[in-house]
Amino acid sequence: MAWRRLPCYLPGMPDLPKSATLPGLDWPRLPASRPLVMGIVNVTADSFSGDGLAGKPDAAIAQARAMVAAGADMLDLGAESTRPGAEPVDSATEQARLLPVLQGLHDIGVPISVDTRYAATMRAVLAAGAHIINDISALEDDPDSLAAVAEAGCPVVLMHKQGQPATMQQDPRYGDVVAEVLGYLLRRVDICVAAGIRRDNIILDPGIGFGKTVAHNVALLRAIPRFTALGLPLLIGLSRKSLLGALAEAPDPAHRLGASLAGALFAASRGAQILRVHDVADTVQALKVWRALDFQALDFQAPGDMA
């Protein structure tokens, strides 16, 4: 089953096929009956969530392995913090942080995505064993990145952002945020296809928190079915973000687990196909219960459930 044919996961739908193949990869038996869980491994110096592991490759490798053991379907490694107000990191620094971790994960057994805006980093990490490029600029910030991905023939995540991380949250404005983000992503898809990137290798991300107010983010999440209707897989990254802090009145990102799980289940119920999360084990557990209640006729009866 190709990614572009995955249906939305809406309550009341019948059970879905048990496996799917990652676009551009011979990677069978990834579950299609629920969103895929992408575990975040921050090899950064200043992660907003406080889990940056720059200069600690052994700790990053251990974290990644623990996430896979907890049920992560894929991993996302990033070496440049893109939190609001963050300063850019150059490609050489990215590579110095990423390559030792990739080398230590050569046998991890799940697809590895790398979050980068630099073509040089893209080429280096793909040569080192990464499978997917995740670019917050939708391959726009580095003019050579389109060619890098096209040459590799790898899957790519195209994300929307308004402005640059250092200033993007100062005064974000839109006339119609959903229409503008949809239009931008569609234009980037056309540009990517014209550059030689296969359409069925493209994954979309509306960029929650990247140049958006709380109201903008809420509107985008409510509009998830409009994004999935484009026929491309949709990635949602909500985990621990300030949107959840505002909605849950939880200023500390470390205390947003409940909010993150609520956001993940909301996105799953609307049809998101990949959830990018920090708390893998808790998200996997929440999805198991959500799926059981929405999709499965349970074949067991727990003590105390007798009516």
pLDDT tens for the chain, 307 residues long, are 233 333 333 333 333 333 334 444 444 344 556 899 999 999 987 655 445 676 789 999 999 999 999 999 999 999 987 777 767 889 999 999 999 999 999 999 999 999 999 999 999 999 999 999 999 999 999 999 999 999 999 999 999 998 777 676 777 889 999 999 999 999 999 999 999 999 999 999 999 999 999 999 999 999 999 999 999 999 999 999 989 999 999 999 989 999 999 999 999 999 999 999 999 999 999 999 998 887 654 444 554 543 3
| Chain centroid, CA 145 distance in Å | 19
Is residue 269 within 8 A of residue 261, CB to CB? The reply is no
Q: What is the pLDDT of residue 170?
A: 75
Residue 286, classed as helix, strand or coil, is helix
Residues 6+ apart with CB under 8 A from 239: 40, 49, 260, 263, 264, 275, 276, 277, 278, 279
Q: What is the pLDDT of residue 255?
A: 93
Sheet with 274-277, side-by-side order of all strands = 202-205, 156-159, 132-135, 112-115, 74-78, 36-42, 274-277, 235-237
Q: What is the pLDDT of residue 297?
A: 43
**Widest distance between CA atoms in the chain:** 64
CATH number of 30-295: 3.20.20.20
What angle, rounded to 10 degrees, do the helices at 145-152 and 119-127 form? 20
Residue 194, classed as helix, strand or coil, is helix
> What does residue 150 show for φ and ψ, rounded to 5 degrees?
-60, -45
Place of tokens 């007798």: 306
- What residues form DSSP beta bridges with 236? 275
Which 8-state DSSP code applies to residue 30? Answer: B
Residue 225: CB atoms within 10 A of its CB come to 13
Return d(Cα 293, Cα 267) in angstroms, integer: 16
Return d(Cα 5, Cα 145) in angstroms, integer: 27
> What does residue 52 show for φ and ψ, rounded to 5 degrees?
-65, 135
Residues 6+ apart with CB under 8 A from 83: 46, 47, 48, 165
- What residues form DSSP beta bridges with 237? 276
Residue 132, classed as helix, strand or coil, is strand
What angle, rounded to 10 degrees, do the helices at 145-152 and 177-194 form? 60
Q: What is the pLDDT of residue 274?
A: 95
Question: Which of 221, 160, 219 lies closest to 189 in space, CA to CA?
Answer: 160
From the candidates 83, 240, 241, 291, which is the catalytic residue?
241
Radius of gyration of the chain (CA): 19
Query: Which burial class, exposed, middle or buried, applies to 174 when counting CB atoms under 10 A from its CB (0-12, 13-18, 19+)?
Result: middle
Q: Which two tokens stand for residue 231?
A: 């026929």
276 is catalytic: yes
Amino acid at 266: F
CA distances from 70 to 58, 168, 221 (A): 18, 34, 26
Q: What is the pLDDT of residue 171?
A: 79
Q: What is the pLDDT of residue 55?
A: 74
Return d(Cα 84, Cα 48) in angstroms, integer: 8
Place of tokens 């969103």: 35
What residue segments make up the domains of the chain, in order of their start?
A: 30-295
